[in-house]
């Protein structure tokens, strides 16, 4: 988990440098907020601050969701930038479709996170659904990376998109690791309470 956090920091810093050259100040803001939230999530979890870590997990997921919503609804649809991708042909169309699917899957994963984190005894069916959504999300990330690498855009934009996607993969892996630990602790805590109750009985 520490290695993933360091990886997020490195890719975010490189993305920040690249974005500086493109002059996209809103993208700079997105990268900074996402980086701060992710590092705070890891540090809170490492220091056993469970409630804070849960909050930052939700915050990191919200950052991903907001970023993807801005890409799909704001930039591609709102500014009609999707014409650029459609002109790029099959790979541009695949990139558009994958970006939209990534946004929808992040919504599902974010909603499931709150059900899983705040259920008293866990929610096995919802955990399974969340794992399925995460697996699909990883598949979509792979499609995004492949489609992006085949677009005929300038190298700076391609590297920006690729680094952003690789950063998001690492953040999602970190979130999955944290939530898996939460699930384990929740089960152990439930078993410990049950054992205590049996001893009292």
Provide the pLDDT for residue 35: 93
Provide the pLDDT for residue 141: 96
Q: What is the pTM of this model?
A: 0.85
For the cut 70, the answer to whether the pLDDT of residue 187 exceeds it is no
* 158-176 confidence digits (pLDDT tens): 998 899 999 999 999 999 8
For the cut 80, the answer to whether the pLDDT of residue 193 exceeds it is no
Provide the pLDDT for residue 138: 95
- Choose the weakest-confidence range: 67-71, 119-123, 175-179: 119-123
pLDDT band at 189 (very low <50, low <70, confident <90, very high): low
Contact of 34 with 60, CB cutoff 8 Å: yes
Contact of 33 with 158, CB cutoff 8 Å: no
pLDDT band at 63 (very low <50, low <70, confident <90, very high): very high
Alpha carbon distance, N-terminus to C-terminus of the chain: 41
What's the whole-number average pLDDT of the chain?
86
* 129-152 confidence digits (pLDDT tens): 888 999 999 999 999 999 999 998
Where along the chain do its domains lie? 2-189
Give the residue among 146, 173, 170 at the shortest CA–CA distance from 158: 146
CA–CA distance, 115 with 155 (Å, rounded to integer): 41
For the cut 90, the answer to whether the pLDDT of residue 89 exceeds it is no
CA–CA distance, 130 with 149 (Å, rounded to integer): 29
62 by Cβ neighbours in 10 Å (0-12 / 13-18 / 19+) ranks as: middle
Give the residue among 71, 11, 60, 7 at the shortest CA–CA distance from 34: 60
Contacts of 103 (CB under 8 A, 6+ apart): 65, 68, 69, 71, 72
Rounded (10°) angle between helices 25-46 and 155-200:
30
Q: What percentage of the chain carries pLDDT values higher than 90?
A: 43
* 23-53 confidence digits (pLDDT tens): 778 888 889 999 999 999 999 988 888 888 8
């Amino acid at each position: 988990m520490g290695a993933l956090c360091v990886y997020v920091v490195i890719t975010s810093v490189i993305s920040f440098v690249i974005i500086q050259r493109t002059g996209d100040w809103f993208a700079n803001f997105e990268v900074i907020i996402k980086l701060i939230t992710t590092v705070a999530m890891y540090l809170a979890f490492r220091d056993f601050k469970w409630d804070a870590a849960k909050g930052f997990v939700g915050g990191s997921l919200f950052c991903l969701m907001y970023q993807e919503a801005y890409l799909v609804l704001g930039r591609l649809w709102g500014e009609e930038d999707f014409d650029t991708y459609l002109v790029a042909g099959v790979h541009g169309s695949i990139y558009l479709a994958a970006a939209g699917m990534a946004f929808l899957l992040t919504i599902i994963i974010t909603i499931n996170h709150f059900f899983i984190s705040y259920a008293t005894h866990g929610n096995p069916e919802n955990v399974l659904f969340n794992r399925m959504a995460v697996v699909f999300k990883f598949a979509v990330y792979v499609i995004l990376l492949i489609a992006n690498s085949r677009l005929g855009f300038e190298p700076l934009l391609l590297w920006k998109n690729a680094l952003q996607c690789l950063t998001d993969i690492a953040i999602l892996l970190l979130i999955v690791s944290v939530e898996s630990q939460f699930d384990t602790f929740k089960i152990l805590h439930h078993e410990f309470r049950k054992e205590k109750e049996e001893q009292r009985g």
